[in-house]
Structure 1
């Protein structure tokens, strides 16, 4: 297993999809549905895009767990990386969410699947911080270097530095927080729209860090690992070029291969030199998801990576497959999460 690039992921297949009105105020990447397009048509297109992402990852040799979501009150459930992350050593984090209508995206059945098929020692639940107005939206708020153990974090009301420090203490990361804004001075709502860290390459919109000293410190911290840095422009960020994720695929002969999953729009925004740098270490897997991108997130936001060791006796096929769980999900409130803990 690659420390940085998981070979297994979790996706949520939401039957109802619509850009979330509760997140539009601070998500500068969010867009309205085209005029005249019905909610049914929007959801149908989004589901087809979700299926296309799952299939593309399977075709690349990634193991995919797909959880269906038939609850029509969760417009952003397609983005599970905001409430869940998994970590080597059998640790899981559950996060506090800014938008109140996103908090019931947390699902006990996802945690139970992980516990039944993987070695889970501890679930650390930070969601109890929500009533105090303290939020840290998972690997949207943080971009994690699992090798050097650094948590790169753009400060925002979705990424409180106090809970960031708690997370880093609990999970063994070094916090590296910074301000990041667009050309209009609007803060970046999630770090993972401006940065992607792979095993040998990092894609980062360093120009969006206004403090020159802090920008230099972030660049140096990335470079000291030996990664090649692909510096992204603000326009490329608006095309979701930063919202990519490295995964570990598997070839038909059983050998592993690193892939960089991103949207077709993101790939089209990259220059030939940038593509060449990425492709020195990763095969790019790009999927067209224009409907989902209306919600202000792209392929990386859709993926919760599984960095856990499999249980030797788990009945889990290692060949590319979807473990589809077709059931009405249950809201994972505090009691559900408590029951899900080991």
Structure 2
């Protein structure tokens, strides 16, 4: 089993803007005071440049267009509603914001099947929305696919019982903790685990300062060390530049740690060297997407681990 993949699903936005429904607990979002059409045009430009950079190094990027009728401002972040697994299972997740639930589209599955991938069933957690419980995909769950560990920071977007249910279904060991940030003059839960932590094959980038409970912090470190991952720490300030929101992918000739330009610029030279010991760095300017959407490079990429369908002659 591999921790990383060469195939990424990305959704090109058609109605991107600051989502008022997610801003209530995503403290990374800011209002740019621009018209929505202007914001969407900038986001599309950033998206297209990012896709081009990924394809240039040999990453297989499947781009599916969003549907204007859906009015889904955050569709650019597909990893929150879906995950694709090596046994052909697709995970579907309960979303906090009502307008994000419309992002779950059958056309996306059809597109992957057209690309030759095998979908062999669904693990559907979306009924939890009716009870007001949420678990936002690989935004909430950081999966160590080789060692079967699922790291999750509990928040309004990540319910502990759902994490345990997921782990039972997919046979992962849960590593559960709380990660906080300074917002509204207090310590409040970070909305997604993947903004404070990134798991790669042989290392992890993590903002340990967000884990206020000493026992929880010690436990996370223990699990990372057990799996022989080098721990590269970032500060809360760097986390706010999306330095935790990275994803390692396979290119044609090398592996890449993919991040935004803001994240890359926030890193100190020793942190850059630490990452480059393991793989190359690929960065792209995602300023509009980060500012209005409150998510960055990792959120935009849904990893495809599905098996390829057997070709019939």
TM-score w.r.t. length of structure 2: 0.95
1:47 and 1:177 map into 2 onto residues whose CA distance is 35
Q: Does structure 1 residue 62 correspond to structure 2 residue 59?
A: yes
Shift of 1:100: 0.5
- 2:239 is matched with which residue? 237
1:118 and 1:67 map into 2 onto residues whose CA distance is 15
2:166 and 2:67 map into 1 onto residues whose CA distance is 31
Note the 1:69-148 alignment, pairs <5 A: 69-71=66-68, 73-116=71-114, 117-148=116-147
Query: SS of 1:261's equivalent?
Result: strand
List structure 1 runs of 4+ shifted beyond 6 angstroms.
none
Query: SS of 1:185's equivalent?
Result: strand
1:170 and 1:114 map into 2 onto residues whose CA distance is 23
Note the aligned Cα RMSD (angstroms).
1.3
Cα deviation 1:161-189 (Å, max 9, x = unaligned): 11111111111111111011114301100
1:118 and 1:268 map into 2 onto residues whose CA distance is 36
- 2:294 is matched with which residue? 296
1:85 and 1:11 map into 2 onto residues whose CA distance is 12
- 2:262 is matched with which residue? 265
Greater RCO, CA 8 A, separation 6+: 1
Shift of 1:79: 0.4
Cα deviation 1:24-57 (Å, max 9, x = unaligned): 1100101111x3x222211111000110111111
Shift of 1:245: 0.2
1:114 and 1:43 map into 2 onto residues whose CA distance is 25
2:109 and 2:187 map into 1 onto residues whose CA distance is 38
Note the 1:138-287 alignment, pairs <5 A: 138-183=137-182, 184-251=186-253, 257-287=254-284
TM-score w.r.t. length of structure 1: 0.87
Cα deviation 1:189-237 (Å, max 9, x = unaligned): 0000000000011001111101111101101110111111101110010
Query: SS of 1:18's equivalent?
Result: coil
Provide the aligned length of Structure 1 versus Structure 2.
306
**Structure 1: gaps (5+ residues):** 252-256, 315-342
Query: SS of 2:188's equivalent?
Result: coil
Shift of 1:143: 1.0
2:24 and 2:226 map into 1 onto residues whose CA distance is 37
- 2:311 is matched with which residue? 313
Query: SS of 2:181's equivalent?
Result: coil
- 1:44 is matched with which residue? 41
- 1:24 is matched with which residue? 23
1:38 and 1:118 map into 2 onto residues whose CA distance is 39
- 2:50 is matched with which residue? 53
